[in-house]
């Protein structure tokens, strides 16, 4: 199969020689949707999320592997010349969707997250319209119709990168988890849209000691 998919999911184990409730991982590999045969889904149970597991499992694989952003897969691409990593769009849109869900519908429409979701939705729509084509024809039409949309999306991302990155770096410098911090802001700020007194913003600044614990990185003892 020239295109396969991979993902790893934590599982809680009751008996394997370790303490009850220890975390292990189920590494799942499957053939792509366009594979011209019954689908193959393989489960590889491992105690850890270590890079050695997919490296060993895929040592003879040649083709495209669709994954999330976990660095282990991208390291695999560097070490194995026959493997090309392709990002999963479902994982890519998930963070944007999570942000939008925390906001009022009208307020969300003015955010970068909402704009990103609209662009990804357009990519999905165009690609879904090609689903009845043969794999060969679908490749041709993807290059003609989908590729320009994908390139436009990443050009848009690049254009807004500095705007978001500067805020992210400020959060990191104050020992915050950027994603959790921004999600908290998007939940809190809409509640004060009609406030004339803007002192509430002081509580939301990255150095405020009134931010909730879920926004903060755990300090190692």
- pLDDT tens digit sequence for 149-173: 999 999 998 888 777 667 777 888 8
At residue 79's C-alpha, the angle toward residues 73 and 81, to 5°, is 100
Q: How many domains does the chain divide into?
A: 2
CA dist 103 and 4 (Å) reads 36
Do residue 199 and residue 119 come from a single domain? yes
- pLDDT tens digit sequence for 52-84: 999 999 998 999 999 998 889 989 999 988 999
Tokens representing 152 are 């436009």
Do residue 74 and residue 103 come from a single domain? no
Using the 3D structure, point to which of 51, 66, 87 is the last residue of a domain.
Answer: 87
Phi, psi of 6 (to 5 degrees): -145, 145
Lowest mean pLDDT across 23-27, 112-116, 200-204: 200-204
Instruction: Tell me what the pLDDT averaged over the chain comes to.
Output: 88
Range of the domain at 70: 3-13+21-87
Do residue 216 and residue 107 come from a single domain? yes
Using the 3D structure, point to which of 87, 121, 142 is the last residue of a domain.
Answer: 87
Do residue 106 and residue 65 come from a single domain? no
Q: What pTM was computed for the model?
A: 0.70
CATH number (domain holding residue 34): 3.30.420.10
């Amino acid at each position: 199969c020239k295109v396969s998919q991979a993902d790893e999911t934590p599982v809680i184990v009751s008996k394997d020689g370790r303490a009850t409730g220890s975390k292990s991982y189920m590494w799942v590999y499957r053939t792509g949707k366009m594979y011209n045969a019954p689908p193959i889904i393989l489960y590889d149970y491992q105690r850890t999320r270590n890079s050695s597991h997919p490296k060993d499992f895929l040592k003879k694989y040649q083709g495209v592997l669709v994954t999330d952003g976990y660095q282990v897969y991208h390291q695999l691409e560097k070490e194995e010349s026959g493997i090309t990593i392709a990002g999963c769009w479902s994982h890519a849109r998930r963070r944007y969707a999570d942000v939008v869900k925390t906001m009022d519908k009208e307020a969300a429409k003015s955010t970068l997250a909402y704009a990103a979701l609209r662009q990804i939705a357009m990519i999905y729509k165009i690609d879904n319209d090609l689903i009845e084509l043969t794999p060969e024809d679908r490749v041709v039409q993807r290059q003609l119709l989908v590729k320009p949309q994908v390139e436009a999306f990443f050009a848009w991302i690049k254009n807004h990168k500095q705007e978001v990155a500067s805020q992210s770096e400020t959060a990191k410098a104050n020992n915050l988890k950027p994603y959790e911090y921004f999600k908290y802001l998007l939940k809190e700020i809409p509640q004060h849209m009609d406030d004339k007194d803007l002192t509430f913003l002081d509580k939301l600044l990255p150095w405020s000691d009134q931010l909730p614990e879920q926004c903060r990185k755990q300090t190692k003892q």
